[in-house]
């Protein structure tokens, strides 16, 4: 137990530049409290005290603003940064060293009693406000961008952004990456590609128009192969 506490605190120090001391983490970090509550609630859940576990999870939500169903499986050194509005469903599975920001939902898309919530593998980062829905897998060391809505599996070491989520980058580095403002924007990239193509067409039209003017002014018969194009 104490080893887990020490690991959690060291993990927070490594991932949050605002953490100045162990005492500050112990007294002021709601994500730290939420994980502590969940460990006891999950123990009660597994040993048949399900009502007590649910009462404990509601108490944790009231104190921290983070709702974790006691049935969820959470690994070691998981850090929920700020955490307000985080919801983690009953059959969710979160592996070691996962980083979760505020407003994240690991939700279900089915009413069946089986596995209906996401599995988040080791080292993944889930950005603020992201919604990861259904029995899908977020691969190891992948990154889910801020506000993304993820409905399909994300391969390991990938970056997923947008609504719905799209894979925009593979083989991302394993270190903690806090640059959420530098994520690729696939929609903007497509629009820019279309605009660039339009600019090329405009230049070609201008070139054709200039050639047509030269033909009309310089030729004795006032004819030009481009004339009919411009008449249309």
Q: How confident is the model at residue 222 (pLDDT cuts 50, 70, 90)?
A: low
What is the count of structural domains for the chain? 2
Q: Does one domain contain both 51 and 136?
A: yes
Tokens read off for 6: 């020490």
- Bridge partners, residue 93, by sequence: 73, 119
Q: Does one domain contain both 94 and 192?
A: no
Q: Does one domain contain both 130 and 192?
A: no
Q: Does one domain contain both 170 and 205?
A: no
- Over residues 163-221, the pLDDT tens digits come to 888 888 776 665 566 566 566 666 667 787 788 888 888 887 877 776 666 565 555 55
Distance CA 220, CA 165 (A): 62
CATH number at residue 55: 2.160.10.10
Residue 165, Cβ neighbours under 10 Å: how many?
24
Q: Is the CB of residue 56 less than 8 Å from the CB of residue 34?
A: no
Q: Does one domain contain both 22 and 84?
A: yes
Q: Does one domain contain both 157 and 193?
A: no
Q: Does one domain contain both 169 and 87?
A: yes
Distance CA 204, CA 207 (A): 5
Q: Does one domain contain both 99 and 208?
A: no
> Which residues span the domain enclosing 198?
187-231
Rg (CA), the chain: 27
Q: Does one domain contain both 11 and 91?
A: yes
Which residue from 99, 98, 4 is spatially nearest to 42, judged by alpha carbons?
4
Q: Does one domain contain both 43 and 97?
A: yes
Query: How confident is the model at residue 224, as a pLDDT?
Result: 56
Which of 144, 165, 183 is the last residue before a domain boundary?
A: 183
CA-angle at 17, arms to 14 and 22, nearest 5°: 65
Q: Does one domain contain both 32 and 117?
A: yes
pTM: 0.74
């Amino acid at each position: 137990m104490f080893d887990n506490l020490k690991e959690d605190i060291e993990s927070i120090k490594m991932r949050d530049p605002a953490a100045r001391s162990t005492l500050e983490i112990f007294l002021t970090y709601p994500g730290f409290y939420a994980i502590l509550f969940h460990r006891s609630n999950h123990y009660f859940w597994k040993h048949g005290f399900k009502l007590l576990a649910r009462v404990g999870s509601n108490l944790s939500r009231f104190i921290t603003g983070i709702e974790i169903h006691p049935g969820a499986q959470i690994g070691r050194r998981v850090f929920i940064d700020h955490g307000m509005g985080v919801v983690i469903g009953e059959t969710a599975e979160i592996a070691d060293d996962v980083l979760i920001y505020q407003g994240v939902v690991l939700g279900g898309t089915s009413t069946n009693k089986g596995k209906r919530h996401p599995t988040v593998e080791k080292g993944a980062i889930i950005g603020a406000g992201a919604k990861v829905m259904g029995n899908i897998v977020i691969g190891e060391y992948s990154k889910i961008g801020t506000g993304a809505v993820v409905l399909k599996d994300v391969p390991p070491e990938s970056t997923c952004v947008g609504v719905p989520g799209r894979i925009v980058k593979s083989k991302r580095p394993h270190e903690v990456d806090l640059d959420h403002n530098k994520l690729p924007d696939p929609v903007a990239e497509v629009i820019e590609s279309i605009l660039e193509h339009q600019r090329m067409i405009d230049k070609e039209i201008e070139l054709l128009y200039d050639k047509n003017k030269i033909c009309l002014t310089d030729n004795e018969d006032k004819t030009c192969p481009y004339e009919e194009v411009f008449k249309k």
